[in-house]
Structure formats: C-alpha cells, structure tokens
C-alpha cells in the first residue's frame, strides 16, 4: 500500500489496533508516553518515534488513541506535538473518547494548520481491538471519512459515518451511557437476587441473555475479579460528559443521573482503577451480601 501511519497511544486498545494496521500493510511510526509500549510493536514491523511530532513526521495519517481530552491536547499541541510534525494535508484521526466540543476545537486547530481531522471513537473493548471487529463511529466531512475508510477498515468491522464533527463523540458517549446503565442494572439485580438467597451464578447466566456486557462482566463479579476491562474512572468520565451533553441539549436523563451517583460512591471507595462493574461492591457492602460463585 505504501502509506504511513503515525500511531500515537499504543496501550491496551491502541496497541492491538496498531498491530492490525501493520498487518494490513501500512508503515507505522508508533509513539507512546511509556515508550516501552511502542517498542513492543517493533517485532511486528513498527518504527518507534520519540515524540508525537516524530510519529507524525511524513505520515499520511495520524491516529491518536489516548485517555481523555487533556491527554489528546498534550499529544496534538505544543512544540513536540503531532500537529507540529504533520506535513500539509495529513489526515489526523482521533479514535479516543472525548466530548464533542473537544473534537470541534481540535478540528478547528487542525484546519488552521492546513490539516484534515476526523473523530472516530471505537466501541468493542480490547477483544474487539484484537480481532479487528470494533465498531467505529466517525464524525467529520464526507471527504475525510472516505479517505479514512480503508485505514479504518483495517481496525474495525462496522465503519459508520455518524455525521459532522462532534456527532461521532455524541454517539460514543451515548453508547457508553447505555453500557453504564446496563452494568448498574446488573449490579442492582444481582445484589437483590443474592440477598434473596438465589445462586448468583444462575442469576448471571439468566441476565447474560439480556446484554453481552453482562455476559462479560457478570462472571468476573462472581469470581470477585474486578480487574478493569473498562475502568470505572473512564466510565464515569464518559457518564459525566454524557450528562453535560444532555444538559446542554435540554434532555433530562433521570436514570443516568442515578447511575452517576452510584459511580461517585464507588469512586469514593477507591474503586476507580477497577472495572466499571465495581459499583456492585457499594451495594454489596450496604446490603451485607456478596454476589460470588458459591
């Protein structure tokens, strides 16, 4: 193919995605704050860049996959940032989950520098990133979307153009708010059932039919394993972004607001680095029961 991708942020998600980009025949210039994570991609054929600027240097595409709006600003802007390294016409594709305003601001800055910009957050978790089956929800112009499509096709399966800049982010926040609500419903139902004497394993088996995320998160709760698939603190960040988006759109979201407060309680308990399902422990503590495999 002969095209070069500057890939910035090759952690749990980004690393798996970059491997699929390499497999598809792109040259990859990988950068990560913890540089060892970029080094890990060398055997697959990546070159390692010392800074976001270096990763962007000469690239046809820059892909960013970082934690939040401030991390995104940190890798795009400034003397060592990707914007500074891009040649004219490079298409910058942010695949992180940020708020619509951040996407719009960054896109404006890119445009001012003669660059193109697409937001393209993903859904599907590490498993989907590994297998190249994530869903990608892009926001930006038709032209940039068409240009990015082959590259995105190497990363995900369902590649959707949601609308103009910012709408990809709204779609992602909407998807994550629904997940947070489902996980909370599982937590409430599971603790209710456990306290009522039911076998938690049987309950998870039944509830897993309701939503795939319960099929993934439920068995881990049964095992008392709260290692993060999606960390609570990131889920809460997205829930807060969704609450803010709903507020400015003028849409009351009563159940999401309750979910957010249960997350606040779990964060206060120190569960931020654990999986978003860690909220179940707040209810378990209050109810005096544990929903574990017997």
Q: Binding segment for a copy of itself among 66-74, 75-83, 91-99, 208-216 (CB under 8 A)?
A: 208-216
- Partnered with residue 225 across adjacent β-strands are none
Q: Which is nearer to a copy of itself, 40 or 198 (CB)?
A: 198
Specify the DSSP element, H or E, that contains 192: helix 167-195
Q: Among 30, 72, 165, 262, which residue sits at the site for a copy of itself (rule: CB under 8 A)? A: 262
The minimum distance between CB 31 and a copy of itself, in angstroms, equals 30
Q: Nearest-CA neighbor of 66 among 22, 41, 90, 31? A: 31
Rounded-to-integer distance, Cα 5 and Cα 29, Å: 6
172 is a catalytic site residue: yes
CB 163 within 8 A of CB 138: no
Coil, helix or strand for 158?
strand
Q: Among 34, 79, 112, 261, which residue sits at the site for a copy of itself (rule: CB under 8 A)? A: 261
Q: Which is nearer to a copy of itself, 227 or 248 (CB)?
A: 248
What binding mask, one character per residue, do residues 263-292 give for a copy of itself by CB under 8 A, x or -? Answer: -xx-xxx------------xx--xxx----
211 near a copy of itself, rule: CB under 8 A? yes
- Considering only residues 64 through 103, tell me which ones interact with a copy of itself, judged by CB under 8 A: 100
Coil, helix or strand for 196?
coil
Quick one: CA dihedral 1, 149, 242, 129, positive or negative? negative
Coil, helix or strand for 260?
helix
Rounded-to-integer distance, Cα 259 and Cα 182, Å: 10
Q: Among 47, 105, 141, 174, which residue sits at the site for a copy of itself (rule: CB under 8 A)? A: 174
The minimum distance between CB 232 and a copy of itself, in angstroms, equals 13
Q: Within its chain, how far is the Cα of 7 from the centroid?
A: 16
Q: Among 25, 45, 127, 212, which residue sits at the site for a copy of itself (rule: CB under 8 A)? A: 212
Report how far apart, in Å, the C-alpha atoms of 47 and of each of 42, 81, 155 are.
6, 18, 19
Report the 3 state secondary structure along 229-245.
CCEHHHHHHHHHHHHHH
Torsion, Cα 198 201 206 211, to 10 degrees, reads: 130
Q: Which is nearer to a copy of itself, 143 or 285 (CB)?
A: 285
Q: Binding segment for a copy of itself among 30-38, 42-50, 87-95, 239-247 (CB under 8 A)?
A: 239-247
Q: Binding segment for a copy of itself among 53-61, 68-76, 106-114, 185-193 (CB under 8 A)?
A: 185-193
Catalytic hit among 172, 233, 237, 269:
172
- Considering only residues 127 through 146, tell me which ones interact with a copy of itself, judged by CB under 8 A: 135, 137
Residues with catalytic roles: 172
């Amino acid at each position: 193919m002969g095209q070069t991708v500057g890939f910035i942020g090759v952690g749990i998600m980004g690393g798996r995605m970059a491997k699929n980009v390499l497999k598809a025949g792109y040259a990859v210039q990988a950068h990560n704050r913890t540089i060892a994570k970029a080094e890990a991609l060398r055997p697959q054929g990546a070159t390692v860049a010392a800074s976001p600027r270096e990763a962007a240097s000469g690239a046809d595409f820059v892909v960013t996959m970082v934690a939040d709006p401030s991390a995104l600003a940190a890798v795009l802007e400034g003397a060592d940032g990707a914007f500074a390294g891009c040649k004219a016409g490079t298409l910058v594709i942010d695949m992180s989950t940020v708020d619509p305003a951040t996407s719009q601001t960054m896109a404006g800055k890119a445009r001012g520098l003669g660059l193109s910009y697409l937001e393209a957050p993903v859904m599907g978790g590490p498993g989907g990133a590994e297998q190249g089956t994530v869903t990608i929800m892009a926001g930006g112009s038709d032209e940039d979307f068409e240009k990015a499509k082959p590259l995105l096709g190497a990363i995900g399966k369902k590649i959707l153009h949601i609308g103009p800049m910012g709408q990809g982010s709204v779609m992602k926040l909407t998807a994550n708010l629904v997940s947070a609500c489902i996980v909370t419903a599982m937590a409430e139902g599971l603790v209710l059932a456990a306290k009522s004497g039911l076998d938690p394993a049987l309950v998870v088996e039944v509830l897993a039919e309701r939503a795939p995320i319960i099929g993934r998160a439920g068995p881990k709760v049964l095992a008392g394993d709260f290692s993060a698939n999606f960390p609570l603190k990131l889920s809460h960040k997205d829930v807060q972004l969704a609450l803010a988006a709903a507020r400015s759109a003028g849409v009351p979201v009563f159940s999401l607001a309750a979910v957010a407060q249960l997350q606040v309680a779990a964060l206060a308990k120190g569960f931020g680095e654990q999986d978003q399902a860690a909220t179940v422990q707040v209810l378990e503590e209050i109810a005096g029961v544990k929903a574990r495999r017997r």
